[in-house]
């Protein structure tokens, strides 16, 4: 069974253009019923294909000029669930990934300036028991960011 059909893909593409678009406008653009759009979006959310329709914030426009990608080495990899729960409590961490290679976890941090970044790294992250070390790469700007092509 195919997970996404042509209607699902087209609805998602309309939402990518403008996540605030009314279901009736999507229906009119795609020449389908408003009910069908509503049912399809609900199904996509129930299946976890769409995880929500959220605003995309330009961090730099709201005062967060620094970003880093930080690898985290743990003392014991089996502590990752507990450490991830602690990382979730730090609002400057916007993404967290399990990875292979030298690190156990890879996170994205945003900060207002270099002093804010230092405090996040040294006073918040490095104080979590079980973290052996961090290694950060400073982000100089996002060339592009997009969803996977459907």
CATH number of the domain that 18 lies in?
Answer: 1.10.10.10
> Is residue 4 pLDDT above 80, yes or no?
yes
Domain count, the chain: 2
Residues 81-131: pLDDT tens digits? 999 999 999 999 999 999 999 999 999 999 999 999 999 999 999 999 999
- pLDDT class for 149, splitting at 50, 70, 90? confident
> Is residue 9 pLDDT above 80, yes or no?
yes
Q: Is 139:60 a contact under the CB 8 Å cutoff?
A: no
Q: What is the DSSP string of 54-119?
A: -----GGGGT--EEEEEEEEES-GGGHHHHHHHHHT-TTEEEEEE-SSS-SEEEEEEESSHHHHHH
- pLDDT class for 34, splitting at 50, 70, 90? very high
Are residues 41 and 66 located together in one domain of the fold? no
- pLDDT class for 148, splitting at 50, 70, 90? confident
Q: Give the pLDDT of residue 81.
A: 96
Are residues 24 and 72 located together in one domain of the fold? no
Are residues 43 and 71 located together in one domain of the fold? no
Whether 149 is covered by a domain: the verdict is: no
What is the average pLDDT across 43-59?
89
Counts for the chain of helices (H) and strands (E), in that order: 5, 4
Distance CA 127, CA 12 (A): 41
Domain that holds residue 26: 6-47
Are residues 75 and 108 located together in one domain of the fold? yes
> Is residue 27 pLDDT above 50, yes or no?
yes
Are residues 71 and 117 located together in one domain of the fold? yes
Are residues 87 and 129 located together in one domain of the fold? yes
pLDDT above 70 covers a percentage of the chain that reads 99
For 135, the 3-state DSSP assignment is strand
Whether 104 is covered by a domain: the verdict is: yes
Evaluate if pTM is beyond 0.85.
no
> Is residue 12 pLDDT above 70, yes or no?
yes
Q: Give the pLDDT of residue 1.
A: 46
The mean pLDDT value of the chain amounts to 93
Whether 98 is covered by a domain: the verdict is: yes
Are residues 11 and 79 located together in one domain of the fold? no
């Amino acid at each position: 069974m195919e997970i996404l059909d042509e209607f699902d893909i087209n609805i998602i593409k309309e939402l990518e253009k403008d996540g605030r678009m009314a279901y009736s406008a999507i229906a009119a653009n795609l020449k389908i019923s408003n009910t069908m759009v509503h049912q399809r979006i609900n199904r996509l959310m129930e299946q976890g294909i769409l995880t929500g329709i959220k605003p995309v914030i330009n961090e730099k426009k709201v005062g967060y000029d620094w970003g880093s990608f930080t690898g985290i080495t743990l003392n014991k990899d089996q502590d990752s669930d507990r450490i991830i729960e602690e990382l979730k409590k730090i609002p400057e961490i916007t993404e967290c990934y399990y990875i292979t290679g030298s690190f156990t976890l890879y996170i994205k941090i945003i900060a207002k300036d270099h002093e804010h970044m230092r405090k996040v790294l040294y006073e918040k992250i490095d104080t979590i028991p079980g973290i052996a070390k961090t290694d950060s790469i400073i982000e100089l700007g996002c060339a592009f960011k997009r969803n996977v092509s459907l």
